[in-house]
Structure 1
Amino acid sequence: MNTFTENPIPVIVAGALGRMGAEVVKAVLDSKDCDLVGAIESLPGKEGIDVGISLGLGDTGIALTSDFEGCLCEASQKVRDLGQGQGVVLVDFTHPSVAYEHTRAAIAYGVHPVIGTTGLNPDQINDLDKFSQKASIGGAIIPNFSVGMVLLQQAAAAACSFYENAELTELHHNQKADAPSGTCIKTAELMEDLGKKFNECNVTENESIPGCRGGLRESGLRMHSIRLPGLVAHQEVIFGAPGETFLLRHDTIQRSAYMPGVLLTIKKVRKVTGIVYGLERIL
């Protein structure tokens, strides 16, 4: 555990042995502002093993557990008398099928959720926001923790004032469960803020293979998902106009690129109201 500061932020990592979870564990252990107080992992045979030993980091004193709510409860009880703004933070990189339940449980236990797991729909996010505000426990749902991706999204939204035609493609490793990615959906939502329609149809399209033109949003934006080994996380937004195309692309080469955004969100989430959606709301 980190002992560099007098009052470090207590952090629980869910999905601690996953690709992203492991990076978060390392980042939290290396941060002078954070203290790892819990590591949750459902992989069989890992119960009770030190998370640091499992990741080749040495003894941390934090044993892996599959008891999600038990870990939240124990950690929150230890800080219950410290006052407002001193709560535990949960960083969750698990699976879309449990993202909603994990977020709601964290709020119920007075733990501030930082959710990197994608797959939550707008109705779920709205419900979680209401629950968060009622409980006075702020949280954050961040589809992508990369500052570079935030810049791409802002550029794409700005470009929509000048282009009528655009399509989005996201490319990820073949272990990603949801498609399209939450990041790509968030990008489309920002592009749609102007309320305009995209890609007016000039011909009657015929898909000889259903789905080859990608997913179609109500705005007319089309989204394409690619899953291949060797990829990490990549996204393109391409705009078209007579005589030109305009391409925006972001490539994540290593997952360590997300850690500055994760740590920044951990530091700020205890001061937010309700559920913040998107890293641009934290920066």
Structure 2
Amino acid sequence: MGKIRVIIAGPRGRMGSEAVRMVEETPSFELAAVLDRKNNGRKLSEIGHFFQGEVPVFSDIEDCLQSVKADVLIDLTVPEAGMHHARTALAYNVRPVVGTTGFSSEELQELQGLVREKGIGCIIAPNFAIGAVLMMKFAKMAAKYFEDVEIIEMHHDRKLDAPSGTAVKTAQLISEERKKKSQGHPEEKETMEGARGADYEGMRIHSVRLPGLIAHQEVLFGSEGQTLKIRHDSYTRASFMTGVRTAVETVMKIDSFVYGLENIME
């Protein structure tokens, strides 16, 4: 098998630039092109001093897919662009690996249907950090024994969605083991709206946004006389690249829709 040819959407973004480096440093990958909304027709080396090579830049995904042969599209942009890119990639038989959060359940169902039609792989992952995926798995395990839980997620102040996709995914996994339950005093009242956070089947999710943070999450369980805290911290965006690399390698071997990196980790 030859090298896996990859297109990256959003190469100038914080995550996208790390993905470019990861692809360039992985011997079995080849960077075929990038999608950037501003620099159509230029070369990658012309749009950032840290980029190398003469990789073409496209602003329109259809132009890109008609001009360049590729196996996988990595999208690390925003939900609206990510959905459009994933749809179009599947139409051209290119396998999407999408790290954008904020997709609705209807959009995920649409992608699942397109994947069934095409018979090729697609991976959507709220979080590509291996440690974050393990945190979610451990939280699901703990939920069998602790029914009271709150999630505190902390991200940089440029993040657009709240709560984070990782927090929502964590709550969904916990709910598979935990019966729906309202927590706290049955007559509690918020004297300031939102003080108790978002409500997901009775468990609370709190979102913190501050400069200096990258991506952090704490899952706090409580029962009589004890608490259990499961926490993950990403200090640099390089922490996500092992998961992105794993997803690219895996998506080439599957013909199904996968939501969540935990589903491809044994």
Q: Same fold (TM over 0.5)?
A: yes
Amino acid paired to 1:171? M
**Which of 39, 49, 55 lines up with 1:56 in the alignment?**
49
Equivalent residues in 2 for 1:239-258, closer than 5 Å = 239-258=221-240
Report the residue type matching 2:42 in the other structure. I
In 2, the alpha carbon distance for the partners of 1:195 and 1:242 equals 17
Deviation at 1:209, TM superposition (A): 1.5
> 1:51–1:64: 8 Å Cα contact kept in structure 2?
yes
Q: Aligned equivalents of 2:209 and 2:42: distance in 1?
A: 33
Q: Map 1:112-123 onto structure 2 (within 5 A).
A: 112-123=95-106
Shift of the alpha carbon at 1:146? 0.9
1:196 is matched with 179
Aligned residues: 265
Q: Which one of 102, 119, 123 corresponds to residue 140 of structure 1?
A: 123
Inter-partner Cα distance in structure 2 for 1:39 and 1:153: 31
What is the distance in 1 between the residues matched to 2:189 and 2:147?
A: 22
Does the CA contact (< 8 Å) of 1:132 and 1:138 recur in 2? Answer: yes
Deviation at 1:115, TM superposition (A): 0.3
Instruction: Spell out the pairing of 1:76-115 with structure 2 (5 A cutoff).
Output: 78=69, 88-115=71-98
1:84 is matched with which residue?
A: none
Gaps (5+ residues) in structure 2? Answer: none
Q: CA RMSD of the aligned region, Å?
A: 1.6
Alignment-derived partner of residue 16 in structure 2 = 21
Contact residue 167 and residue 237 of structure 1 kept, 8 A: yes
CA contact (8 A) 1:138 1:275 kept: yes
Tell whether the 8 Å contact from 2:150 to 2:221 is kept in structure 1 after alignment: yes
Q: TM-score, normalised by structure 2?
A: 0.94
Structure 2 CA distance, aligned partners of 1:201 and 1:248? 20
Offset at residue 273 of structure 1 (A): 2.3
Q: Matched residues in 1 for 2:226 and 2:52: separation?
A: 56
Distance 2:97 2:252 in 1: 10
**Unpaired runs of 5+ in structure 1?**
1-5, 79-86
Contact 1:50 1:59 in 2 (8 A): no
Structure 2: distance between partners of 1:260 and 1:267: 11
Give the secondary-structure state (helix, strand or coil) at the position aligned to 2:88: helix
Q: Deviations over 1:202-222 (max 9, x none)?
A: 3312112211111111x2111
What's the CA shift for 1:195? 4.9
Deviation at 1:281, TM superposition (A): 1.5
Check whether the contact 2:95–2:120 (CA below 8 A) recurs between aligned residues.
yes
Conserved 8 A contact 1:24-1:259: yes
CA distance, structure 1, for counterparts of residue 173 and residue 160 of structure 2: 23
- Alpha-carbon separation, structure 2, partners of 1:153 and 1:58: 34
Q: Deviations over 1:224-283 (max 9, x none)?
A: 111111110000100111212111110000111111111111111022122111111122
